[in-house]
Structures are given as C-alpha cells and as structure tokens.
Amino acid sequence: MEMVSGKLQVVAGTAERLFIKLADETAQDMDYVDTYLLCHSYFCSPAELLENLMARFHLEATPGEADYFEKWQRTIQVKVLNVISRWLKLQYEDFQCNEILLQRLQAFLDGDIQRAGFRSEAALLRESIQLQCARHARPVHTLITVAADPLLQTDRYLHASSSPKTPLPKSSTKSSFVSRRPSGASSIFSFVSSITTPPESPTLPNVSSTSLSMFESKEIAQYLTLADFYYFKCISAFEFLNGTWRAGAQAGNTMECNSSPSHSYVLRMTKRANMLSRWVAHETLVAKGMKQRRLMMRKFIDVARLCLGWNNYHTAMVIVMGLKSNSVQKLEEAWQSMPSRDLATMRSLEKLLDVSGNMRPYRTAFSSAKAPAIPFFPIVLKDLTFFVEGNKTYLEDNSTDVASSYTSMKDTRRPSPNELSLINFAKFRTVTRFVTSMLALTSENYSFAGLLETTPFFNLTAGFGVAPDMNTSIGPLDLLAQTIERRIQIVPTSHTSS
C-alpha cells in the first residue's frame, strides 16, 4: 500500500490478499471494491469470485481467535453482501453470460444467507437480480433512447435555436502563396480501419432523393451528434474491459454473451465512423459541378464546427477525415475557390488530427470538455488498449517474501506460484478511472435531444435485427434522420472523382 492523493491505497498484492481486502475488518473502500469487480476477470474468473465470496461469508474461527472472530464475523458477512450487491449493479453481464453462476448465487441467497438471519438483505438482492435481468433482456440501445428525451421539453426549441460556442484551435497565419487545399488524410484513419469489419451496403428500396442542401447545417450537426452520442452511451464498462473488440485480449478476458461482433457497440460505433467518413466524401463527389461540390464541402466544414461546439469531437473529426480523403483532395478547383474563412476553419479542425505528440492538440482541446461530450473514439480505444496491454498484470516474482508471510501466519498449505505472484492493482485503478471518465461523458443529455423522436441510426445501420421504429411521433429532425441514414446505406466502399 502507498499514499496516493492523501489516501492510503492498495497498489499490489497476491490474489488472496486482494480478495480479503474486499471484506475485512477495516473500513470498506467502495472505490477499491468497484475496481476489483470491474477488472476481476483479468486475474479471477466470475465462478472463482463467487465461490470465494461464499467461503468468506462462512469464515470460521481458527484456534485462539474465537474472541476476534465473534467480534468481526457479522461485519465481514455484511461486507460480503455489499460486494455481491455492487457486483450485480456494476457487472451483471457475468451472471447473464453464465446461467449456472446465477443459479449458484440464487441458491446461496435462498439458503445460507436466509439461515444466517439476513432475510431482508436476501430479499433486496433478489430484487436486484430481477431488475438487472429485466434491463438486460432488451438491447441496450432500446433503453438508452427511451430515456433520452430531456425533462425540459417545453424549452427544447429554445435550446436548439441557440448556436453553440466553437472553441477551435487558432489557425496559424500562412502566406497567400501556400496552397488553399488542406493536406492529405491523416494516418490516424488507419487505426479506425484496422479494428472494423467491412461495412454492409444493402440496397434499400425507396431511397429518399431529398437533397441535403434543403437542411440547415445546424440540423445536420444536431442529428449526427445525437446518433453518435447514443452509440457511445450504449457502451458499458463491461464491453470496454471485456468486449470482443480487443483483438489482443486473452481468451479468458473476452466474455461477451454473444461472440458475434454485431452485438458489440464498440465495433458498431467504429463501423459507423467509417461509413460516415465515406458518406461525407460521397456526398461531395456526387454533387453536380464545381459550385455544388464547393457548397457541399462548406456545409460539412460548418457541420464539423458546430459538432465541436457541442463537445462532439468524434463526429467533427470523422467529417474532417472524409474531407481529407484522397478523392475529395483531388477537387483542386473547389478547394482553391473556397472562401478564406471556411479554409481557416478547416485548418483549425485539421489540427485536431495532428498525430504528433500523441495527439497533443486534440487531447489539450478535449481536456476541458464537460458532459455531454463525445471523445474521438479511435483515441479512446487506443488509450484503453495501452492501459490494459501496456502495463503488466503481474509484477516481478516476490515469491520468497510472500511465502515467508504465509509461514508467519502458520498456514500449513504451501501456496502455488500463481498465488504468490503480485497483481499490479495500480494498473486496474488506472483502467477503472479511465473507463469511469468515459461513461461520465454521457451522464447528461444534449438539450436538443427532444428534436429527434426516432432512431433510424440503430434500425438501418446497426444491424441489430430490430424492428423498424414504430413511433408515430415526428420530431423536427426525423425527416433529416431518415434521409441521412438511407443515403449512408447506398455509399460505395470506394470513390473516384469525375
């Protein structure tokens, strides 16, 4: 243990010692409990954890410790129940993925816990199981969108009518002889492409021929922001830490109930980013004539600017990546005739994609973002991968020192080498802190969420197999939503300029 920010915290320990810390005679540290529960699969299976908790609940006194045991037995049992309650709330997926594990827990509640006199606690835990079972019976996005409408419905048009502030990085002054066309696509795009699957391009009947030019930039920005926000909000801590998206994950750490990538919101959000970037390029290229193409490019630059003003860095940067694609970059005449103000905005947006200094310009800009916000998703995955795979789970062998501590405790059982290894718990504190910070970005909703009544981005592009949205209410953004999603679906996987 060591002092961190004025608080004594566990930084490493054996599997047994870390487990005992969950429910011992000291004050229960719920931050520690949450970190352990969210990350336990990296060093302990759910079945092992439940068996250990049940054994801890039935802890028996060793010779000479009767008085100590009598004093602390009840306290430790209560803490075990607290851990189980927290486990159900934070990571019910462990039980959803393992019916036998759930049955084992229910038998424990109905039997041992009741007989120990914890009837009310057992009843509360059973209610928690029923609640979580009901929540996880439906796809996450069907619950997210039901709760999306803000409480201040009467003010929704008022909120939506105000333009956001747009904190763009300052563009450096350039000579008039410098090319007016932005530079080529950033290498960060290769990271997005490397973790996605080839997008499906089904042929949709009755594709809307409505032109995007009839919609205001702000309407487009609002809709694209809500679509990506809801996708990001669907990603749970469990999927961040144990999802199938992690190509380098060990088999024991990848525990999604359905191994199909179509059930992963991480992969779906990544796929959508690729589709959206290609759509931006496609809409620009299919516009008739140089003037129309320039008009479309200006509109997308404005949309990206507006998204950034709502702390939606993800959509803004994906749009810029579409404009920086090779096919759009070849439209030299359109770029050369672009107004200086739009080019300055584009260059400011491009700075966020600067990969130097580990994406320093983006990180500096996003560091002050408050919820609701959408970070650039490839960087989220890159950072999480680094935290998980770039730091050791087990520290250097300390078997001699640890073995001697077992001897001093008069433990006649010789621990195995795995039990003697020190688990780097500081790593999992960092991982948990990062994931928690990502989830907190969706803790508040966008004020203009009430302008969208339907969710075609789930029904048409997600591939979850859900029925079409039957909501008969029509919001101000719904026609635009249907138009964009259907146009995204018919975008080819590659483009050539004409």
How open is the CA angle 353-321-162, to the nearest 5 degrees? Answer: 85
pLDDT of residue 12: 95
pLDDT of residue 192: 43
pLDDT band at 397 (very low <50, low <70, confident <90, very high): low
Is the fold of 2-141+386-437 the same as that of 149-375+447-489? no
Kindly state the average pLDDT of the residues 100-112.
Answer: 96
Greater model confidence, 149 or 143:
143
Kindly state the average pLDDT of the residues 228-255.
Answer: 78
The CATH fold of domain 2-141+386-437:
Son of sevenless (SoS) protein; Chain S, domain 1 (1.20.870)
Name which of 37-51, 149-163, 288-302, 413-427 the model is least confident about: 149-163
- 7-9/2-4 β-pairing: antiparallel
Domain boundaries, the chain: 2-141+386-437, 149-375+447-489
Interatomic CA distance for residues 293 and 487, integer angstroms? 17
pLDDT of 42 over the 70 cut:
yes
Greater model confidence, 420 or 177:
420
pLDDT of 178 over the 80 cut:
no
pLDDT of 142 over the 60 cut:
yes
pLDDT, tens only, 298-313: 999 999 999 999 999 9
Please provide the average confidence, as pLDDT, over all residues in the chain. 81
pLDDT, tens only, 415-458: 454 566 899 999 999 999 999 999 999 999 999 999 999 889 98
pLDDT of 80 over the 60 cut:
yes
pLDDT, tens only, 360-379: 999 999 999 999 999 999 99
pLDDT of residue 45: 95
pLDDT of residue 130: 96
Q: Is domain 149-375+447-489 annotated with CATH 3.30.300.30?
A: no
pLDDT of residue 186: 45
Name which of 234-238, 247-251, 319-323, 399-403 the model is least confident about: 399-403
Interatomic CA distance for residues 23 and 40, integer angstroms? 15
Cα atoms in the Cβ-side hemisphere of radius 13 Å centred on 144:
22
Kindly state the average pLDDT of the residues 110-139.
Answer: 94
